[in-house]
Chain A
Amino acid sequence: MIPSESLQGNEVAWALSVTLATGRAFLTRMSAYLIQFVRWPLGPLLIFAVWRVMYGASGRTVVGGASLSGFLVTGIFGSVLLSSSIWTSGYAIEWERDEGTSGSLFLSPASRAAVIAGYGLGSFVWFLPCFIMVTLLGVATGATLNIGSMAAAALGALAMVTASLSMGFTLAGLFILSRRGNLIANVMQPPLLLLGGFAVPIARLPLSVRWISNGLPITHALEAFRPAVLTGAGLATTGRELALSFGVSAAYVVAGLLALRRVEHVARRLGQLDLY
């Protein structure tokens, strides 16, 4: 018998409740550090400024068919979401390990995927003010928004968030098993920032590395989002990249969920599950 005050008979409602609770707990924990209120908004603003100055030095005002600032603002969105994949949803279990709560988490019957999704959700909410500030800075430095289709823009934004979360699922498994998430994350972040097409158009990257870009769901999401919000492209134009983004994201989610299950099993066998 499952008591009526329990959600254990309804997996979807339970997972949603865990995701929301994890997101809320994440935000409360982040808010405990005053430095985080400065660090996170300031970081993307500085990156935007650095990229803007670098492109400015080359004399370019248009990149990838959009205004320089518009191109960079959308790139910053992508880079922030990539950081979220790596350092929040992907790093969720590592956060727990650092906090000393991984044992408590793994002793609970809650869905681990729901916890990871909660970290991703919390991170997205945490970054919302940052997105707004970067957008304002972009507009102030010459970015122009041109949304021709609200559906294309909304789906592009959804694809960005979905891509970020799906990559987080996949990374989470890798990080648990390696127990060296921090080191791996530090190594993988710089090349992914380039290969994701955030600061440099994918078309300008060498052909030999573009296959990596194409394997990242966030690349396709950005390729759909950028024209939808900067050049007024509709679904007819962005549809292919949207489909690719959602398709690759789905593959990442499935791979991530399978990997998580497998990795938890292996970590239990190796005795690493609750190690701090």
Chain B
Amino acid sequence: MSEALLPDEPAIEAHNLRRLYWRRSRPFARRQEVEAVKDISLTVRRGMIFGMLGPNGAGKTTTIKMLSTLLTPTAGTARVAGYDVVRDDRAVRRSLGVVLGGDRGLYGKLSARDNLIYFGHLYGMRSAAIRTAVAEKLELVGLTERAGDRVEGYSRGMKQRLHLAKALLHDPPILILDEPTIGLDPAAAMDLRREIAALAPTHTVLLTTHDMTEADALCEQIAIVDRGLIVAQGTPEQLKARVAARRRVIVAVEALNGRAPAVASAFAAIPEVTVSGPEYDADGAAQWSLMCVDTTQALDAALSALRTQGVGVRTIRVIEPSLEDAFLAVAGRSFE
């Protein structure tokens, strides 16, 4: 596939993208302005999987629609494969494979094979190349045996895999995947994630998701998007490191026999630890949560305090900060 990229040029670059919509609540009503994307700038290096993570309505899909030429930005510029998304829209489309979220985008009355053949023609492939590529991509996504069946009879997972095959058919250097695993059962989602992970580094992938685990597992770089803005960006580790103080040690203890206040005081005396608890489970067993930076130090101090009080330990769990914690920290609200 042809590219206008210089050797060090990023695969995708966006500067200050903004997108307004105008909506009417009813005919003849005054138009209302909705700012779906306020100011998004991002750079996606070649060969990486880049994730845009955010809740529904954050502006992820609007951003990828602008990058894939379906939507004109209200302001800002973007280049994909070295081409401007407004001026060189056709060249951008040639360089892109796009999977739009949801159940649609395929011809239900055509078989998987006929769908791919048709899209091959739309992307300017010759018949011989289409035949070879269709067989290869169907094999890649595990649909060879059902290739002759009409797509309307496919499960959601099969359709998503076919979407991916369609996006890969013309061998584009860059792929944009909008919520690729949405609505899939866990096993199907895991299969699809494996296929997406295998795309790098031969392809550049920009994916949107609101699944923290997915972003964590797949992406080399993540931009956290909220209310039309990128509120944080970095590797999953960098983002989690921003909330390192949110590591938690959960200590569940044996019978307290009236020593709960003494244990709480001892825990509260541990330096650089925020204590919450005790909470009691259904059996009446108590547990404390110690939020800390240094888990080893906190754990040592907690065990020592329990020994001093003569309280036995039932279980200890260390919970590392998640991307959800990172989102909470940067967006100031929970993901949902």
Q: Which residues of A approach B to under 8 Å, CB–CB? A: 1-3, 5-8, 14, 17-18, 20-22, 25, 28-29, 32-33, 99-101, 103-110, 115, 265, 268-269, 271, 273-274, 276
Contact = CB atoms under 8 A, between A and B. Distances in A.
Interface residues of B, number: 41
Interface string B46-69: 000000000000000000010011
Contacts of B90: 109
A220 B166 CA distance: 44
A109 B65 contact: no
A188 B36 CA distance: 37
B72 A7 contact: no
Nearest to A3: B1
A21 B121 contact: yes
B69 A1 contact: no
Given A18-B122, A107-B70, A271-B21, A101 B104 contact: yes
B126 A6 contact: yes
Contacts of A5: 125-126, 128-129
Contacts of A109: 90-91, 93-94, 122-124
Given A108-B119, A110-B122, A274-B70, A28 B96 contact: no
Given A2-B2, A268-B71, A274-B65, A110 B107 contact: no
Given A17-B121, A18-B121, A25-B118, A1 B72 contact: no
B105 interface: yes
B141 interface: no
A273 B124 contact: no
Interface of B: 1-2, 19, 21, 65, 68-72, 90-91, 93-94, 96, 98, 100, 103-110, 114, 117-119, 121-129, 150, 166, 170
A6 B129 contact: yes
A28 B72 CA distance: 34
A162 B89 CA distance: 30
B124 A107 contact: no
Nearest to B111: A28
Nearest to B92: A109
Given A25-B118, A32-B109, A104-B106, A14 B70 contact: no
A107 B167 CA distance: 10
A268 B121 contact: no
Contact of B150 (A14, A32, A269, A276): A32
Contacts of B127: 17
Nearest to B126: A5
Given A109-B94, A268-B69, A101 B117 contact: no
A7 B128 CA distance: 12
B64 to A, nearest CB: 11
B152 to A, nearest CB: 9
A274 B66 CA distance: 12
A33 B108 CA distance: 12
B114 to A, nearest CB: 6
Contacts of B150: 32
Contacts of A8: 2, 94, 124
Contacts of A269: 72
B118 A274 contact: no
Nearest to A15: B124
B104 A100 contact: yes
Contact of A103 (B19, B105, B121, B124): B105
